[in-house]
Amino acid sequence: MKIPELILSNNIGVLSTCDEHCKPSAATLFYAVRGGKLYFFTHEDSVKIKHIHANPSVCLVVSDHTNYRQAQVYATAKIIEEPSELLKLLENVINKEEVIKSDYLIPYMYIESEGSAPVVVEMEPKSIRLFQPETGITQTSA
């Protein structure tokens, strides 16, 4: 599936997940794109990981700074077992953001209540809805 430029030119989005009882949660995160898939990391004890274990269907929303353009990526998420190479990819994305000054990859990288082990999650897009003022709504599917 072709990833739209709006997604490629950004690296921050809002991920929506839900648990086995359809209780939703949404969180802002950094992401990276490689080989038509999107990646992010979080802690092994995070709500995102608990929800993905229960229900791997997720939606990532990416918008430009004006919010006139928006992409909704409907994807299947899976936890990567050997994340070392992907952690470096995500670190490179995050380090481009000059606002982040921390000893950790991101300021909340070490929060005891979240756990200390980072987990990389791969999102394989199933469909993407793109909202643009020039063209309206377009949708692509895998």
pLDDT bracket for residue 68 (50, 70, 90): confident
46-50, 58-62, 91-95, 99-103: which is most confident: 58-62
E strand intervals along the chain: 12-18, 24-30, 32-34, 37-43, 57-63, 70-79, 118-132, 136-141
Q: Is the pTM of this model over 0.85?
A: no
Using alpha carbons only, what angle is made at residue 35 by residues 84 and 62, rounded to the nearest 5 degrees? 95
Q: What is the number of residues in the chain?
A: 142
